[in-house]
Structure formats: structure tokens, C-alpha cells
Amino acid sequence: MEQRGTAGGRQRTRAVHAGGLSHPSAGPDASLGSMTTPVYRTTGFTFDTAEQMAETAAGHGERFLYSRYDNPSLHEAEQKLAALEGAGAGADVGAVVFSSGMAAVTAALMAGLSAGDHFIAQAELYGGTTGLIRRVLRRFGVDVTYVEAAALGGPGLDQRLDSAASPATRAVYLETPANPTLRIVDIEAVARTARARGWRLLVDNTFASPINQRPLALGADVVIHSATKYLAGHSDLTAGFVVTQGEMLDKARELRIDLGGCLDASVAWLLARSMKTLALRIAAQNDNAMAVAGCLERHPKVARVHYPGLASHPGHETARRQMSGFGGMVSFEMADEQVAPRVIAALRLIRLAPTLGGVETTASVPALSSHVKLTPDERRAAGIGDGLIRLSVGVEDTADIIEDLEQALG
């Protein structure tokens, strides 16, 4: 069953109104005047005739069959994100929601790659994605070549991508801003090169959210989200999305059925509810992160700050072109690598946590958390030193966040 992101209005309006009872499948619920879409806690759906069930099982019509396949509660979240990510990219963009961000990453890669295929991946990726590539995809005959973010833009991009490619290359996989280095890749430039060679471009847009960046409008073919982070925004649910169109959309939906990564209806309802405030939360996090990054850049014990909103960031100009906001993630390197764990331990307001994107500010040392399974050499290649601290800046009062950082840094 297909749904498309056609809701009108600007992003804040889409976040509130896209999806919900406007969908044809809502049926009689729409006439009750409910302000919210109900939760459909059912494993399956009944039919009047066997022929009607057969037609639905074949994928025809607007009815639902079985909640591992699809469920009305999932549609509101899917329509909402399709409307947000699809803005400026055409009316036929659709979204498929999964039980986790890694389930979404897995489906997106499997939808476009088969045994014997090769793809090009940005070297600076979330540790879970790197693990999937190394421990799973390679076992099934899919090969990869990594290219550093710094090489994915500017003069000579075509030649650099060609040198990483092979006759079996089918796709390019990006994550921008990257976790945790906040490195920026020129999506539009990579999309032009990929399209000219018949490769698909997949972009993990988790750190930016569709409020700050819309890769489909920049030429990407597939967008991936760990909805656990900014889309949900309250550190209380796990989910993921694939946003695309055409054949890739159909394949992503089929893989959700085949792999069993369907999201629970109650969690989908919470996700759709949370996404209504996405634009408001992101605006506050953008402002707070910019202030925090500026403060850290001036601190004598901080060697370097990674934030695309700073003029000192090597990807600043590209970020200005392709992003409408610079996001809530800030990472910084301590002048003395050995003190990073002590700084984390001294924080009072800011909490040590492995996740990000919530309304509360959290911190982590990636070498000891998200990227701990990488070898030291792999971490160094990705720009992750032992003294790197990652901040997910929340919506608290800016002064309180900065005061906590300053007392912890000493």
C-alpha cells in the first residue's frame, strides 16, 4: 500500500498536519472529529469475502491485511516524514518506517545492492553502519570502497569517485553531517556525478533532520533516518525511516515484510505525535548549538571545535548552501586527550548517554561509545581521537548548558 508526501504548507505546517485522519484509510474515524489518529492495536484485519482478502494480499486497494505488512498507525508517521523530506522533490516521495535506524539502513542498502555489487561509502560513518558493512554485507558478497568526506566535493570530484569505483559499482552512501566529526559532504555535487554514472545516492540525514536539510531536493535518491534521534526527540522510542520513490520505495516496503522490521503501532503513534513539534525543537537546538560551539571555540582547553555553523569549519560554505540550519550536534577535541573522560564525569546538567537528538543535552566520548568497536586505526582514519567529545545539544536555557560546560572544563 502506497502513500505519498503531498501535504502543502511550509515545514512547520507539514510537521503538524501531514498524515493523520486525512488519509483515505482512516475511514469512519475521520467523521468523529478526533484531534489525533487512533492507535490500531491489531495483528490483522477482517474481510467480508475471501476474494477481498486475496485482492488486498496482492497489494491492491486501500485496505490493510496484517500488521507486519502495514498498519494505519504507521501511515501518519510515514506521511509526515514523506511530506517533510519530499518538499521540493516531487509529489511521489514516500516513506517506510522501521523498528530501528539500523533496520532502515539495512533495508536501504539491501534494496539497491546484490551479491557481486560494489558501492562507495563515505569513510566517516556511524559505527553501527560501518559494522553492518564489515560484518554483514561483505559476508553476502557486497564490496565497498571508502572515500573521505574531504574528497567528496570540489574540483576533481568526478575523477576521485571514478578512482574508487569499479564496473560493479551501483551506489554511493553518505552521512552528512557525519557522526561524530560533523564533516560535511556536498550532496548536490556527488548526486550529479552519481547520476551521470547510473549510481544511486543514499544519504543518512539523521543529524540534520528534514528541517535543516533535504537531500532529495539536492539530487539524492534515498534518505535514511534513525528516527530514534531528532524525529522522535524525547529519548523514549526506537525507530527508523527510508524515504525514496519508485522501485526503491517498493523494495524497501517489501524488505520490511521479509525481514520483519515492522514498527509497533503504539510506538508509531508516539513517533507521529513527537514529529509535530520537530520544527520547533530543531530551531531551539540550532540556536543553542551555535552558542555552545562559539563558547567552546574560545576556551583555552579546547583544541578544536567541529560545528558546521562556525566559519572555521572546513565544510562551512557547503553547509551554508545545502542546509537551512546547522543542527544540534557539536563535537570538540580536548587539548589534552587524557582529560576527556574527566570532563564528562564533571558535568552536572549534561548527562552521559550513548544516544542523541533528545530535548535534553547529552555528551559522550565516541571512542568509548558509538565507535568503540572500531580498531584504533579505523577510528583515526575517521578522525575520531580519544579526546573527542560529542555533544547533543538540547532545548534547555542556553546559559545553563554553557555554565555546565565551563565548570566541567575548569
Q: In the annotation, is 126 catalytic?
A: yes
Of the residues 186, 204, 221, 264, only one is catalytic, namely: 204
Helices of type H across 174-300: 187-196, 209-212, 246-259, 265-275, 278-297
Instruction: Using CB atoms within 10 Å of the CB of residue 308, give its burial: 0 to 12 exposed, 13 to 18 middle, 19+ buried.
Output: buried
Residue from 82, 98, 75, 97 nearest 245 by CA: 82
Of the residues 68, 134, 197, 273, only one is catalytic, namely: 68
Distances in whole angstroms, Cα of residue 84 to Cα of each of 62, 210, 219, 284: 23, 6, 16, 18
Q: What is the DSSP string of 105-173?
A: HHHHHHHH--TT-EEEEESS--HHHHHHIIIIIGGGT-EEEEE-GGGSSSTTHHHHHHHH--TTEEEEE
Q: Residues 44, 104: contact at Cβ < 8 Å?
A: no
Of the residues 126, 173, 230, 307, only one is catalytic, namely: 126
Of the residues 160, 170, 229, 390, only one is catalytic, namely: 229
Phi, psi of 316 (to 5 degrees): -60, -50
Matching residue, cell 551506489: 171
Phi, psi of 298 (to 5 degrees): -90, -5
Cis before 167? omega within 30: no
Q: In the annotation, is 301 catalytic?
A: no
- As a whole number of angstroms, the distance between CA 70 and CA 80 comes to 16
Q: Looking at the chain, how many residues does it have?
A: 410
- As a whole number of angstroms, the distance between CA 356 and CA 393 comes to 8
> What's the first-to-final CA gap in the chain, in angstroms?
56
Catalytic residues: 68, 126, 204, 229
